[in-house]
Amino acid sequence: MDEPFILVERKEGYRIVTLNRPTRLNSFNEAMHLQLRAALSEAEQDLSCRAVMLTGAGRGFCAGQDLSDRVMGKGAAPPDLGATIETYYNPLVKQLRALPMPIVCAVNGVAAGAGVNIALACDIVVAARSASFLEAFARIGLIPDAGGTWFLPRLVGESRARGMALLAEPVPAETAERWGLIWKCLDDNELMGEAHALCSRFAEGATRGLALAKRALGASSTNTLDAQLSLERDLQREAGRTADYAEGVRAFMEKRKPGFRGRV
């Protein structure tokens, strides 16, 4: 049986999913991919789960692909990386984006390679001041994958995206916040407290509305304004039919905190 490369902790209304290969800076092997996929699917199926926190064990967040699985003997046929991307990384990014609840990524230390882009696929990224973001691919002759070439220019603009991708230098968490790559950089000892506070807040949120907002934002960068306005109309129609919307309006009028029911 595989080791537990993914740890799951259940909290009131949310789950903490921890990448757990600390001696390899939580880099991905196949077993970790499969365990992460299963953990996210279980979170999705549990209607009481209204947010997910993704973080790493030990001093790093995630160093991307485990390169010890990619060492080639001289003269050996190269691996088909397109196949591993298709089988593991692309489904993971799509799964994170489609999760019907917010995902808070608590970047506790260095994020490198696909580790950066998996963080960027999450909804809210908070990072410890000591963390850094390293699109390491150019150092080994690869291109940013796991959505990197899509996320980077959208988040930080073309020139910074090209700098990160082509120079492969670490971007400190403080700079990442200033550039808009992430939501917030926090003192190391405040990171997990803030990540828990965000998840607790989402665990009391109007989850279906938040999921619809994720969908709308996810579609916006490839839509025309006309198409986006139509999508907003359709998704708002759906949001307007939720019990949480009715409760939100009632609570506002009665000047009280809303008691949202979330995914039910």
Contact positions toward ligand T3D, by CB under 6 A?
24-25, 27, 63-68, 70, 81, 84-85, 89, 110, 112-114, 134, 136-137, 139-140, 142, 145
Whether 22 and 59 have beta carbons less than 8 Å apart is answered as yes
| Residue 78 Cβ vs ligand T3D, minimum distance, rounded to whole Å | 11
| Residue 110 Cβ vs ligand T3D, minimum distance, rounded to whole Å | 5
Sign of the alpha-carbon dihedral angle for 84, 216, 198, 202: negative
Between 93 and 212, name the residue whose CB sits nearer to ligand T3D: 93
Between 93 and 112, name the residue whose CB sits nearer to ligand T3D: 112
Give the Cα separation of 189 and 192 in Å (integer): 7
| Residue 70 Cβ vs ligand T3D, minimum distance, rounded to whole Å | 5
Between 56 and 102, name the residue whose CB sits nearer to ligand T3D: 56
Sign of the alpha-carbon dihedral angle for 185, 35, 47, 91: positive
| Residue 112 Cβ vs ligand T3D, minimum distance, rounded to whole Å | 4
Give the Cα separation of 237 and 58 in Å (integer): 44
Give the Cα separation of 125 and 127 in Å (integer): 7
Give the Cα separation of 25 and 32 in Å (integer): 12
The helix or strand, by DSSP H or E, that contains position 205, with its residue range, turns out to be none
Structure tokens given for 64: 């991307």
| Residue 133 Cβ vs ligand T3D, minimum distance, rounded to whole Å | 10
Q: Which residue is nearest to ligand T3D (CB)?
A: 64
Between 95 and 228, name the residue whose CB sits nearer to ligand T3D: 95
Between 140 and 166, name the residue whose CB sits nearer to ligand T3D: 140
Structure tokens given for 125: 């990224």
